[in-house]
Structure 1
């Protein structure tokens, strides 16, 4: 499992007016997480790692961007956070394309979305200024990333990479509940 976190930091300064730029990718190599869009084996376009003990690997990215704008002498900081599946770096070995394994990989993607929501919540519930926005956002990001890595590792360990049906089902319910409870943070605001 590849657990990528991408720092995407864009600073836009336009005194006195709001600006908008799209955070959604037009890159055909990436799938932005969506409740309505589930992974299929056709999305795994990377070359399998023949030396890996694993049957499949999902490359996941969580990125954040920042917009700074000044309005009436007040500086506003807003963040956008996105969660992606990267097709070209994700792979599955021949003969291993089972529904059970695909559900396991989908849950890795769902876990990444949950941690993207946690990151959105943290950014929203903190205040930033010109002196601390870089260090404070990096600290929040790094803390979230460490929790994310531990959570993903625990998921793989407890489910034995999806081969144990009971723990897999338990994790599916757990993540479904976490996503439901964090639905207020499911969508980034556009920059």
Structure 2
């Protein structure tokens, strides 16, 4: 009678007693210096249900089973013990557990047939504090096991999670070469366009100053000016990602439109040409200041384009202000003393920036 009651008690435990939690053992990661380290794990499964529903040893029912320590803690420890030390990792990621479930049903020969489903999202907070979802990982496995041995369940979980780490490493290795979201810095480089490739456009070149042949526009009716030149500037950018850095190649274009520039009859003097050249020089100086404001420290990965646009607009305003000030103080070039003062000022700035010697 006592033996019967003991057997009944054991059967009751198998049917209704809580099962031991699953233990997630660490597994060696095959990359000595991964690009990432796991900063945090968040369980975002709706309702945070038990991770597994496993058959009891009698195959009479399934019971809920969790990871030892809970999903977040177990995965965090698994990452810490499986991955190398994160000191050299470039990206510290947060793993969001979107799905992680094991479901078993009875199979032949007192076996349990199980299905594992895993879906993880990997987030990274970039250097500017913005959270970027990098990629998602989906995986799964089917297995059969003896009812008395749960080792295959723990191994399947281990290998699928390790597969997620391998997937992220491969994704980063590819993305760091071309995905701007992974960039950690912007490094601009500048080139001034000096090639004379357009018939109606003269690009600023210290070795090629203005000549009267560049003034092809129709002279204006008689007025206060002997000539007029219409310089401007623009920039063109070509970004590319190189090893986690946005290499931003910028072409700076300081130009005069020939067909908008004119000279009145009998006004083709060296003095007047110098006055117009100084208008061109002033634009070149403004653009040099624009270039120096667009430093790596001033450009952010997320907003480098809008920052450049804002600096461009400010520099364009500065250019217009300087042009007006120059004409007002020199009275359109008719005040020789004022003109000479501006000549000296502009020459000094051109030398100071290394534009001319």
2:260 maps to what in 1?
89
1:151 to 322, 341, 346: 322
Residues 62-89 of structure 1, C-alpha deviations (whole Å, 9 max, x = no match): 1111121101233232322121122111
- The corresponding residue for 1:62 is 233
Gaps of at least 5 residues in structure 1 are 1-13, 187-191
Bigger proportion of residues as strand: 2
User: Aligned-pair RMSD on alpha carbons?
Assistant: 2.4
Which residue of the partner structure matches residue 32 of structure 1? 203
| Kept in 2: contact 1:114–1:179 (CA 8 A) | yes
Q: Structure 1 residue 44 and structure 2 residue 215: aligned?
A: yes
Q: 1:98 corresponds to which residue?
A: 269
Is residue 2:285 matched to residue 1:122?
no
1:15 CA displacement? 3.1
CA contact (8 A) 2:192 2:251 kept: no
The answer to whether the Cα contact below 8 Å between 1:63 and 1:81 also exists between their aligned partners in 2 is yes
2:178 maps to which of 10, 15, 19: 15
SS of 1:124's equivalent in the other structure is coil
Higher relative contact order (CA 8 A, sep 6+): 1
Which residue matches 1:172? 343
Indicate how the Cα distance of structure 1 residues 131 and 125 shifts in structure 2: closer, same or farther if over 3 A, else same: closer
Unaligned runs of 5+ in 2: 1-176, 180-190
Are the structure 2 counterparts of residues 122 and 80 from structure 1 closer, same or farther at C-alpha, using a change threshold of 3 Å?
A: farther
Larger Rg: 2
Count of aligned residue pairs for this structure pair: 168
Aligned to 1:74: 245
TM-score (structure 2 length as normaliser): 0.44
State the alpha-carbon separation in 2 of the partners of residues 164 and 149 from structure 1: 21
